[in-house]
Structure 1
Amino acid sequence: MQISKTRYISILLAGVAAFPTMAYADDQNPQGGLSDIVVTARRKVENLQDVPVAVTAISAAQIQRYDMTSLEKISTQTPQFTIGRASNGSGAQLTLRGIGSSASSIGIEQSVAVILDGVYYGQGRVINEGFLDLQSVEMLKGPQALFFGKNATAGVISLKSAEPTKRAEFMARVGYEMAGREVVGEAVASGPLSDTLGIRVALRGSRMFGGYFDNAGLAKTYSTYDVATGVTTSHYAPPLTTDNPGARALLGRVTLQYKPTNRLTVTLRANSSMDDNDNNSWNYVPYACANPNGTFGINPAIRCSKSFTIYQNAFPADLAGTNPYSRRDGGLYNKYRSWAVTGQADYSLDHVNLTLVSNYNKNVNQWACDCTIVSAPDPLSAPSTEHSVFSAFSTEFRAQTRFDAPVNLMAGVLYQSTKRNHTQTGSFGGVSDSSAPAAMRYLGYFKRSETSGETITSYAQAEWKILSTLTAAAGARYTHETKDSYLKQPYVNAALQFLFPQNQAVTANQSWDNWSPEATLTWKPTRDLTLYGAYKTAYKSGGFSNSGFVSASTLPSDVAFNPETAAGFELGFKSTLLGRQLRLNLAVYSYLYKDLQVDFFNASTFAFITTNAGGARTRGIEFEYEYAPRAVEGLNLHGSVNYNRARYTNYIAPCYGGQTLATGCGVGGLSFHGADAQNLSGTPTAVAPEWAGSLGVSYEAAVSDKWRAGLSVDSRYSGHYLASAFGKPNSRQDAYLSVDASVRLKTSDNRYELALIGKNITNRFIVGGAIDAPNSAADTLGFVNMPRTVQLQGTVRF
């Protein structure tokens, strides 16, 4: 389904123009109308329409309507927020307003911070988490350092899980998704254990008997030259013909809440997530070939196409079970495990609220990958494995005053310690060594890296009510951060040691200090109108590329990189009109980003380089509306129009794969870390459509005394963009319109419900990120989002 940008925007604006002009008094018809939306965008409970921040809020009802139990599912409902799932490196590319982070380095943290129950989860692997039983989701756009700390330069996704209820409630749900042949089960039990103690237990399990992507791998061989005997051996790598990802997941959370008095609330949450699938690169599609005939450079048997088809192989039998972390049957896989415990204590004095939040979380990610992706023929092959462990402990204390006075204060301190332990292996270069230990025999390299970090921050804000309708706020966050890292290859096949020295370590002891100030002026002339202006800054942590290589020429500056910063302005208004039936919000912004963190492969030195380069500026306008007429109970119309101009400012960038002098590579002697470079200053950033928007409608009404029916349709429009961070023309994602819809039938007491949920029912091919294809750099691989899915779901509550 194709639709032009002009046509889609005209539909959105026509929807606004169609709203009735007469106002309704609040007491004329108590049915219908808008509900207040509560957010915590400034670490305190506020009405969405009062907070001077651009926020898109998603309620528990909306989450349930589209079974939004992962970040990828949430992104389908939020224009300008795009996720590209990656097989290795950081595991994801999260992009908001055209600002995101490369997925190819595990050391680069995300520009979009993910907050769960007040705790920061910044690693890209967080997309593997299952966020079950959510109470709300808030997307805060633009820099958010003051209240959320480091790595919130592009924005924040804040998720809050549901709390124990005052009376006993139980829910059971089963579903079947037809495209992936996935069975889903979910159960929630909540209620009081005593007058002061409540509990909530939530479980969700799923098993997929198929997949979203067809795996059409072709049979191939991988030949190895034994450096100990001089014998060359061919190994058969069978094609994978099962659909991917074949996912299995089990998620659980237990929440205890203790309220001995009206002043004190103590909440303890413990959750665990298990996510397995049959391929860590199940969404890597060769969608753009450099060859005019559309065939892949290193494997002409494969044609590039915008289809949900991948081409990958199992490990050869000799390597299976021998290479560290490989499966004995040679199958590909990704195994993710996470655990977390969060404790929060809230205590209210007469004029001060005190909050203490402590968290420990750990995740382990392990995979086996056919990392040439395209059934590459002999001698090209890269059966690789990885085992990566990340853990973090944090504790935060803050105090907020609530005096009946013109000035109130908020202040806090936070301590965080982190550790990443990273191991990776690769059968590479067509070599083996029968004299090496059995686990190393078929390896080209065995790589180890660690990073230990500490962060100490303090922050404060003062709010001054200048007039009854005018409030000024100013504050700053100070961050001191250290990271100590090393990277080395404890084993390298003798034939490859000219490229990758064995046991040669690269180390870095890094330290940074940052001040991130913020100031806001808010004018509220009436209860239903808020106007604001803000100056904001943000800081994105520097780091160390644990997933890089140590080559013969590698320097610490090749893998250790500095922080990225952001600063700029935002103006906006929020209004509630027509007797609280119509919500209109508008934001205008301009932000400058400096020292962009960049990861690229330098073919001349055969090494990944992670460094800082250039800057970018985003300017835009965002308009959101929601209409819930009292004259038609149960009807809700909503939508948004977003214009965003994200451009590199002064960016001398690496050349993209296959780029020539004629297309700008090396013109004028430009170079980037010893490699030919191009000038991308003034060009769009990656995954940055100029126009994006949404349009939706939901309606629920009684169909009898005992039954109610509901229908919702939500569309998301995106203009075209380049998915490559280096301006690669064939990485273009065309403009698209995706549509989600759900139909529900439930009893009037909400006890029984049957739903049909369709996601991306227009079956759009959507690329959330792109990389140069291994060994065929002129061709492009895309991180492709899910195709059409349809789920039948039944729920019972009692």
Structure 2
Amino acid sequence: MKSFHNSVCVAALAAAIGLLAGPAHAQSNTAKASDKPDTGEIIVTAQKRAENVQNVPLAVSVLGASQLQAAGVRNFQDLGAVSPSLTIRPAEHPVNANVSLRGVGTFAFGIGVEPSVAVLVDEVPMAFQARAFTDLPDVERIEVLRGPQSTLYGKAASAGLINIITRGPSDTLKVRANATVTTDQEYAVNASVSGPISPTVGYVFSGAYSKWEGNVRNLFNGQKLNGREAGNFRAKLRWEPSSDAKLTLSLNYMNGNTNIGRPIIAQAAGALYRGTAGQTIDQVLPGVVVGPRNQNTSLNYTSRTKYQGGGGNIRGEFALGDHSLVTITSYDKFRLDDYFDSDETSSAAVGFNNIQVGTFKSTLFTQEVRLLSDGSKPFHYTVGAYYANVDFERPFYRGPAFSLANWNATSKSSQIAGFVQADWQFMPKATLTGGGRVQNEKIAYTFNDIQNGNARFNGSAEDTAATYRISARYEFTPRINAFVTYSTGYKGQTYDLTTGFNANRAAAGPIKPETSRDIEFGVRSQLFDRKVTLNVTYFDTSYKNLQAQSIETLADGTTNFRLTNVGKLGTHGFEIDAGYRPSSDFNFNTSLAILDAKYNDYPVAQCYPGQTAAQGCVAGTPSSQNLTGTRAVQAPQFKMSATAEYTPQIRDGLRGLAQVNVQHQSSVYYAARDPQTFQKGYEIVNLSLGIRDENRRWEVAAFVNNLFDQQYYPSLINSNASWGNAMTTQAVLPRDFRRYGGLRASLNF
């Protein structure tokens, strides 16, 4: 607690210095949904209606294209660099990656398990978070809503949500193009064209392609690993037959692949692979030199994924007197094939060569209808209904040497919900907001364990739940207001359809729903003719029946993962967004999060591999540790991102460009208390220098990311069990593990 209080003091001091020296947050350069002149306002749809972000009684971060560019964010998993409350931990493939907000996320590998953080594109939910783990083409803005959002957005947003808003059709012909090339062989291009077909029909077509070889070398065949290749296409057609009606058809398609190598960065001397005599690292990983900067591995089977998906939605907006009706119908289909060298060596010895192969398939259909009253009246409301149906399928094989598995599972879910939210300005400067949601969900599964005699299991369950939100907001001046919000969150019940599912798990029924309650106090302010923005939020959230992945150690020494309700978690802290924009040629914004997230009730948790009795592992069947009072995994106590942009005029029509982005994160555990998965605090600095047209019709800039070549790991893995219980730590390396430079260019006319 002392360190938490110290962090609060540090943050307060940083904010004070920032306001005196020039930092703060205005984000006036964030792209808008239209071509209207910049008024200094940022319009968001966090409450399912267009509003000035400063008037929303929620903790919302808005990330614009310029801010993403300065921080080197080109891929979804890089978003944690610019949204301090957001942490994204990569894994061997995108489905196993984890997204958490304020220290809360679902660490689950099974199909049908809802995330704690929902991901939407243009207000349309994704069945798999993995669907988002690609480039971010033609993005207008990204809204990060922190804390439970279940009242308006449903059961997959118990910790928050990320809403990616893409550009819409423009009233005049517009062409945008961007290209990036780096010193470590990354190539990326994206382009879009938008405009009118007729006075009532508009369009936007966009496409993107990127390729990066990776930063890990496979010494077995010389191949680069940890890379990615992706292509995607998006189209929107908007028809406005009258001033009272608008229909927008959106279509999208994506295709890509990734590969992975997880270097060993630390290992005890004399470690033997699978505890077998003579199987030293020199034998099974020839040429690999273990160390914190190791970027080599040796695999005789390429660990990789390939994926493709597509879908679309039709959005209708209709004026009905002083009301408006919005309907959104969506369909999405996605497939990811994963291949993994599960022995992670190039050994040809009998009994050591092991692979795993699987597929994730999802099909999602949603329908939402909502009625909005006139938002300019003292009393206004939103009432709606939502339906979703999602099907998952997962065939999986692992073998032939050890930890054998061969099964096929399906999961189905259908939900129907009704929601309402109303705002009542009962005094000239005071507004009350209240909302609620009732939803019914039916889930069903099948599991065919081919490995164990074609054992077949199936089951179903149904649940009805309610969530709500209450908020009060007071406007001291037109530019300063404060709010208090109380909300509840809910994440539905599910089945753990992973290796090891058996009659006992089937008989136990579904894993219980996860619930949360959250209270927030916030101040929103814009001062000095909107040149200074300072937003502060205090939050306190608690979770019951937290759904989390636990580790089982199997009889052969390998590990398996299963989902369960692990107990209670509490998280509280401060979030500060500040900015300063004194003129059109200087802009500074900073965001920071101070977080105290810990397990409030977790008496029986899996011991980490190698944990001793002195370290808290209690002998038993299985052995366990008490994590009550322990800091939550993937929850840094302090995280900050700051970006400064200076664009001085060089001559008529030409401006210079200088951007600096600084990111700081305090220490974090990727597995509770496990010293092998401890990442110490670090800072990353990115720098860009270039020139641009006065009207931003073109821009060219050179950049250096990770300017001071600081090494850090976004994911660490305890692999002791694979090495005869000798200490062995593997890492997933970040994109900027080593300093790299590049050149980017853009056209906008």
Which of 350, 364, 373 is residue 335 of structure 2 equivalent to? 364
Distance 1:169 1:395 in 2: 32
1:658 aligns with 2:610: yes
Structure 2 match to 1:615: 568
Match of 2:731 among 758, 770, 782: 782
Say which SS state the counterpart of residue 402 (structure 1) adopts.
coil
For 1:421 and 1:594, how far apart are their aligned partners in 2? 29
CA contact 2:598–2:629 (8 Å) conserved in 1 = yes
Partner of 1:702 in structure 2? Answer: 649
CA distance in structure 2 between the aligned counterparts of 1:505 and 1:559, rounded to whole angstroms: 15
- Give, in angstroms, the shift of residue 527 of structure 1: 0.6
Secondary structure of the equivalent of 1:543? coil
Q: Displacement, 1:214?
A: 2.7
Q: 1:452 maps to what in 2?
A: 412
Aligned mates of 1:640, 1:296 — CA distance in 2: 45
Specify the code of the residue in structure 2 equivalent to 1:541. Answer: G
Match of 2:678 among 721, 732, 735: 732
Structure 2 match to 1:327: none
* 1:211 corresponds to: 214
Q: Counterpart of 2:589 in 1: which secondary structure?
A: strand
Partner of 1:248: 229
Distance 1:149 1:314, change over 3 A: same
Query: Within the alignment, does 1:381 sit opposite 2:353 as a pair?
Result: yes
Verify: 1:195 aligned to 2:199, yes or no.
Answer: yes
Alignment partner of 1:629: what SS? Answer: strand
The answer as to whether partners of 2:482 and 2:523 remain within 8 angstroms in 1 is: yes
CA contact (8 A) 2:522 2:536 kept: yes
1:559 Cα deviation after fit:
8.5
Q: Do the aligned partners of residues 89 and 79 (structure 1) sit closer, same or farther apart at CA in structure 2, a change above 3 Å counting?
A: closer
- The residue correspondences of 1:617-632 to structure 2 (distance < 5 A) are 617-630=570-583
Contact 1:268 1:344 in 2 (8 A): yes
| Equivalent residue number for residue 307 of structure 1 | 293
Q: 1:590 to 1:11 in 2, by over 3 A?
A: closer
Per-residue displacement from partner, 1:446-474 (whole Å, max 9, x unpaired)?
Answer: 32111111011111122221101111111
User: Which moved further from structure 2: 373-382 or 110-119?
Assistant: 373-382
For residue 32 of structure 2, what is the aligned residue in structure 1?
none
Q: Secondary structure at the match of 2:131?
A: helix
- Residue 535 of structure 1 is matched in structure 2 by 486
Q: 1:757-783, CA deviations, whole angstroms, 9 ceiling, x for partnerless residues?
A: 433334443333444326246534334
Q: Which amino acid aligns with 2:366?
A: S
Aligned with residue 446 of structure 2, among 459, 482, 486: 486
Q: How far apart, CA to CA, are the structure 1 residues paired with 2:631 and 2:274?
A: 27
Distance 1:173 1:405 in 2: 43
Separation in 2, partners of 1:733, 1:470: 45
TM-score, normalised to structure 1's length?
A: 0.84
Aligned pairs for 1:346-745 (under 5 A) are 346-375=317-346, 378=349, 379-402=351-374, 406-429=378-401, 444-490=404-450, 492=451, 501-550=452-501, 554-556=504-506, 560-604=510-554, 608-630=561-583, 633-651=584-602, 652-666=604-618, 675-724=622-671, 726-745=672-691
Q: Please give the secondary structure, in 2, of the residue aligned with 1:505.
A: strand
Aligned residues of 2:498 and 2:562 also touching (Cα < 8 A): no
- TM-score, normalisation: structure 2: 0.89
- Provide the C-alpha distance between the structure 2 equivalents of 1:639 and 1:34, rounded to a whole number of angstroms: 21
CA positional deviation for 1:403:
7.0
Letter of the structure 2 residue corresponding to residue 460 of structure 1: V
Deviations 1:135-192 (A, max 9, x none): 111111111111211121221111111001111112233321222x122222211100
Measured in 1, the distance between the counterparts of 2:453 and 2:484 equals 56
Which residue is equivalent to 1:286?
264
Q: Assess, with a 3 A threshold, how the Cα gap between structure 1 residues 582 and 70 changes in structure 2: closer, same or farther.
A: same
Q: Secondary structure at the match of 2:340?
A: strand
**Structure 2 CA distance for aligned equivalents of residues 786 and 639 of structure 1:** 22
Amino acid at match of 1:575: S
* Cα distance in structure 2, aligned partners of 1:367 and 1:41: 35
The range that moved more, 586-595 or 4-13, is 4-13
Indicate if the aligned counterparts of 2:203 and 2:238 stay in contact, CA closer than 8 A. yes
**Structure 1 unaligned spans of 5+:** 22-31, 217-238, 316-330, 432-443, 493-500
Q: Which amino acid aligns with 1:80?
A: S
> Displacement, 1:753?
1.9
Q: Does residue 93 in structure 1 map to residue 75 in structure 2?
A: no
- Paired residue for 1:748, among 694, 717, 736? 694
Change (3 A) 1:168 1:405: closer
The Cα shift of 1:573 comes to 0.4
Q: 1:369 to 1:312 in 2, by over 3 A?
A: farther
For residues 123 and 352 of structure 2, what CA distance do their matches in structure 1 show? 46
Aligned partner of 1:182 among 171, 180, 186: 186
What is the deviation of 1:196? 0.4
Aligned to 1:259, the other structure's residue is in SS state: strand
Helix, strand or coil at the partner of 2:67: helix
Distance 1:482 1:790, change over 3 A: farther
Q: Within 2, Cα distance between the matches of 1:122 and 1:766?
A: 31
Contact residue 68 and residue 74 of structure 1 kept, 8 A: yes
Are 1:153 and 2:148 matched, yes or no?
A: no
The alignment-based identity, stated in percent, is 23
What secondary structure sits across from 1:688 in the alignment? coil
| One-letter code aligned to 1:555 | R
1:308/1:8 CA distance change after superposition, 3 Å: farther
* Superposition pairs of residues 262-273 of structure 1, within 5 angstroms: 262-273=243-254
Rounded Cα–Cα distance in structure 2 between residues aligned with 1:644 and 1:762: 27
Structure 2 distance, partners of 1:474, 1:626, is: 30
Mean Cα displacement is larger for which, 155-164 or 734-743? 734-743
**8 Å Cα contact 1:738-1:761 kept in structure 2:** yes
- Deviation of 1:523 after TM superposition, in Å, equals 0.5
1:258, 1:267 within 8 Å by CA — same for their partners in 2?
A: yes
**Secondary structure of the structure 2 residue equivalent to 1:254:** strand
1:647-675 Cα offsets, whole Å, 9 max, x none, are 101102111112122221126x6xxxx52
Greater Cα shift, 479-488 or 366-375: 366-375
Q: Which residue of 1 aligns with 2:21?
A: 18
SS in 2 for 1:703: strand
Name the SS of the counterpart of 2:241 in structure 1.
coil
* Structure 1 position 9, deviation (Å): 7.5
Distance 1:343 1:571 in 2: 37
Stretches of structure 2 that go unaligned for 5 or more consecutive residues are: 1-5, 25-36, 283-287
**Structure 2 counterpart of 1:639, one-letter code:** T
What is the Cα-based RMSD across aligned positions, in Å?
A: 2.7
* Change over 3 Å in CA distance of 1:682–1:255 after alignment to 2: same
Q: Which residue of 2 aligns with 1:325?
A: none
CA distance in 2, matches of 1:554, 1:759: 51
Deviations 1:186-237 (A, max 9, x none): 22111000000001110111233x3222334xxxxxxxxxxxxxxxxxxxxx
Q: Number of matched residues?
A: 712
Matches within 5 A, 1:47-126: 47-66=52-71, 68-88=73-93, 90-126=95-131
Structure 1 residues 243-252 or 459-468, which shifts more?
243-252
Q: Deviations over 1:361-410 (max 9, x none)?
A: 11110122112235467433321111221110001001111276543221
- Counterpart Cα distance in 2 of 1:137 and 1:771: 31
Deviation at 1:512, TM superposition (A): 1.8
Measured in 2, the distance between the counterparts of 1:381 and 1:191 equals: 56
Shift of 1:428: 3.2
Matched, 1:138 2:119: no
